[in-house]
Amino acid sequence: MRLKNSYIVITLLALVFSPAAICAQFLWSSHIFGPITLPKMSHRGDVCENHASIIMDVNKTLSNIQISANNTEHGPAELTNGKDRLVTEYKLTFDGDGIHQHSGGADTEYVDYKSFLLPAVAVKYVYDDNQVVVTLWVRASNYADKVADFGSYTATQTLTVSWIDP
């Protein structure tokens, strides 16, 4: 099948967290990332990407936070229209690295949705920087051996923020 003016829409993210931990330890500016809409895919070899960000408020008691992802084969994090699937990759970036002057974590590289945030990524607090901008990126393309039909594709990537005992 040929790909013509494919529209890819992705709806992201339901954050899962422990209510007790969030009340005592950190707060999000929003509990979900806004929808991430990918640009139109017009050719077989097109790769499209986009992102959304949220802010996590942290403080000095948060030395052991980690963010992980829901990774299941053909799970909700894979872009699909119900019939066809697209190569679905994610990465997470931070406004700081948790080491030099800004709270944050180590940016991840794009990986297949089944491997995203395996292992979980640590978020570290740096004195007097109480906010971390967390950016979720998504990238989509066709599989080399199959061109997906045009239309709307959706996925839901669930991230879990947890506080780990030292």
Domains of the chain: 9-163 (2.60.40)
pTM for this predicted structure: 0.80
**pLDDT value of position 40:** 86
pLDDT in tens, 31-61: 678 889 999 888 889 999 999 999 888 877 7
Split at pLDDT 50, 70, 90, the class of 125 is: confident
Q: How many residues does the chain have?
A: 166
Name which residue leads in pLDDT, 104 or 63: 104
